[in-house]
Amino acid sequence: MLIQLLNKISEKYASKWLVLLFDILVVIATFFLAYLIRFNFQIDFDFITLLTQIPYVAVIAAISFIAVGSYKGVVRFTGFKDIINIIIGANILATTLILCTFLSRKILGSESLLNLSGSVIYIHLLLNILFLIGAKLFIKSIYNSITQDFHSVSNVLIFGAGNSGMLTYDAIENDTKSGLNVIGFIDDDERKIGKKINLLKVYSIESIDVQFIKNKALEDVIISIQNIEPTRLLQITGHLFSLGLKVKIVPPVQSWIDGDLSVGQIKEVRIEDLLGRDPINIKNPDLEEQYDNKVILITGAAGSIGSEICRKVSLYNYKKLVLIDNAESALYDIQQEFLQQGLENIEAIVADVRNKTRIDQIFNLHKPKIIFHAAAYKHVPLMENNPYEAVSVNIGGTKNVADIAVKHSVDKFVFISTDKAVNPTNVMGATKRIAELYVSCLKGKGHTKFITTRFGNVLGSNGSVIPLFKKQIEKGGPLTVTHKDITRYFMTIPEACQLVLEAAAMGSGGEIFVFDMGEPIKIFNLATNMIILSGLRYPEDINIKITGLRPGEKIYEELLADGENTKKTYHDKIMIAKSRQLDILTVEKQINKLTAINSLTQPLEIVSSIKNLIPEYISNNSTYEVLDIKK
């Protein structure tokens, strides 16, 4: 009941006119005190004159405080700007009293009621600053202490004793419901370590150990450094995670609401923050023109990447969005998502890219101008056991949509590939590489511009390692990693889709766009970070099991194939892979032969045909390694 009462009280604020009245009463009290100080605390002055001067002082004070708006501040949230306002208001009051004294002496002589002593005015000014600020900070302190006594409070350290750290400290102090109590700062700057800021000590990261945490009852650390190096962020979080601390992070200044940080914007560190590189951001005003009043068709629209492309494109002034997928439930979900947002001119169609007649019918009906081809089979172990399906969808499906795009004079065809297509070691990667080759063969064969985007693993996508680890953590572990040294390039779904949209705008046809994705991440380290981010310990709470490489799996991924190099674009994170010259007629003939293979054909025969087309395809940890021995 008491907590509920406090919550109700906390939702109410004192009237600004009541605050103004309080300030004026303080000014009157300090005016009397100024006289006492001036006359050594003896009543050696005309008390009646003092009483007649008080109304004038009160009126001038009211005008001064109204002018600067100091009375509008919420007392419990008094901050630096409020203090500055009070000081300015007190100075306006003192300056006005000096001017009134000077004018009254000139006009009315020394007998004027406003003939104030200069020393009284200056003493009054100092007392006003002291008592007005002190009273408000005292009320704020009392309020905070009362509310904190009835709410659970976590002791936190702020990493970063600079400007951003101080703004974070102010945001926490001004939010009485934050449940956070700042007990100090951490900083890498040796000049700051050991010193105090707002009476709080600055510590080094090395001094934060188990004993320190126990003595200070420390629970959280808030990282408040703008533009922190990703590698340094990994080091800091790794150290703090190993001590069982929760780590939160302050967002970039650009995302602060109206330029001010609120405690609600401070979030726990996510896996995306630990990619070991800066987030990739693309801002291209030309994108609006690219998609303006266009019919846009997306295959694989219900998948992780396809659905996010749909969401991104829906933000533009499109003419119609045509969403194609053969997964009816997932397609229904994305359709309902758009309907609930009130978006119009969106057509969800259940169709299979392998059905050329059906796809042609859709193109003929809707006449799309931009195609995003995301439909594919992507799970490496499954495709290793089902090469016919990989060929029919990843190669045959791409070939169907690409051929029909040429037939209907589509403006742009954006093909979504993978880094597993580079020097492939598995069926899935090899089929995606062949699809890349077929798209390249179509350059200049019609009006359509063919563009390929190639990127690494996508965090949070269906079937990716992150959702798998989350499920394993929920079940109590262990987390399964195929090899302790296995590494992968990672990007977030929004980053992947930014690349796709930018490629559509940037590409002039025939390019393979790749990202500078920074350093690859060890999956084992990713697993340990996820355990700690879940509030658990490795290996005490959840262990990690090494299961051995899966069929076709690489230890290291690559972004460029043998014989490829790159050239730069206008964005420093995007490059164009310069591929070797193709014998287009031979490649097309082999692809046509491959896609015509019957479903009854033996897997070894199918994979052998793939290897003939892609010489760099060397199987790894797979039954198809026998074909490489023969070769």
Res 294 pLDDT > 70: yes
To which residue do tokens 């605050």 refer? 19
Per-residue confidence band for 537, with pLDDT thresholds at 50, 70 and 90: confident
* Triad 550, 555, 561: Cα angle to 5°: 110
Picking from 392, 496, 397, 399, the residue whose alpha carbon sits closest to that of residue 453 is: 496
Q: Name the residue with higher pLDDT: 467 or 33.
A: 33
Per-residue confidence band for 515, with pLDDT thresholds at 50, 70 and 90: confident
- Report the share of the chain in percent with pLDDT over 70: 84
> Two tokens at 163?
């400007």
Give the mean pLDDT of the chain: 83
* pLDDT value, residue 450: 94
User: How far is 280 from 32, CA to CA, in rounded Å?
Assistant: 63
Identify residue 358 by its one-letter amino acid code. Answer: R
- Mean pLDDT, residues 148-174: 80
Beta strands in 437-486 (DSSP E): 449-455, 457-459, 479-481
Catalytic residues: 420
User: How far is 131 from 26, CA to CA, in rounded Å?
Assistant: 7
pTM: 0.65
pLDDT digit string, tens, across residues 460-471: 666 678 778 888
Task: Give, in order, the Cα–Cα distances in Å from 214 to each of 153, 184, 413, 563.
Answer: 16, 15, 59, 57
Contact criterion met (CB below 8 Å) for 173 and 140: no
pLDDT digit string, tens, across residues 556-589: 666 555 555 566 666 666 778 776 677 888 999 9
Res 23 pLDDT > 70: yes
Report the Cα 186 to chain-centroid distance in Å: 23
User: How far is 296 from 275, CA to CA, in rounded Å?
Assistant: 32
Q: What is the Cβ-side half-sphere exposure of residue 92, based on CA atoms within 13 angstroms? A: 19
Task: Please spell the DSSP secondary structure of 91-125, one letter per residue.
Answer: HHHHHHHHHHHHHHHHHH-TT-TT---HHHHHHHH
Backbone angles phi, psi at 443, to 5 degrees: -60, 125
* pLDDT value, residue 3: 43
Q: How many CB atoms lie within 10 A of CB 189?
A: 12
Sheet holding 267-268, edge to edge: 196-197, 200-203, 180-186, 154-159, 218-223, 246-249, 267-268
- Mean pLDDT, residues 273-284: 62
Res 339 pLDDT > 70: yes
- Mean pLDDT, residues 200-204: 93
Task: Give, in order, the Cα–Cα distances in Å from 141 to each of 77, 79, 135, 137, 418.
Answer: 10, 12, 10, 6, 57
Backbone angles phi, psi at 451, to 5 degrees: -130, 135
Picking from 163, 153, 158, the residue whose alpha carbon sits closest to that of residue 266 is: 158
- Mean pLDDT, residues 183-193: 91
Strand partners, 246: 220
Per-residue confidence band for 539, with pLDDT thresholds at 50, 70 and 90: confident
Q: Name the residue with higher pLDDT: 196 or 143.
A: 196
Per-residue confidence band for 1, with pLDDT thresholds at 50, 70 and 90: very low
Backbone angles phi, psi at 579, to 5 degrees: -85, 160
Report which listed range, 252-266, 337-351, 444-458, 480-494, is most confident: 337-351
- Mean pLDDT, residues 64-81: 75
Domains and CATH numbers, the chain: 2-147 (no CATH), 152-269 (3.40.50.720), 286-457+492-517+559-625 (3.40.50.720)
Per-residue confidence band for 152, with pLDDT thresholds at 50, 70 and 90: low
To which residue do tokens 């009462």 refer? 5
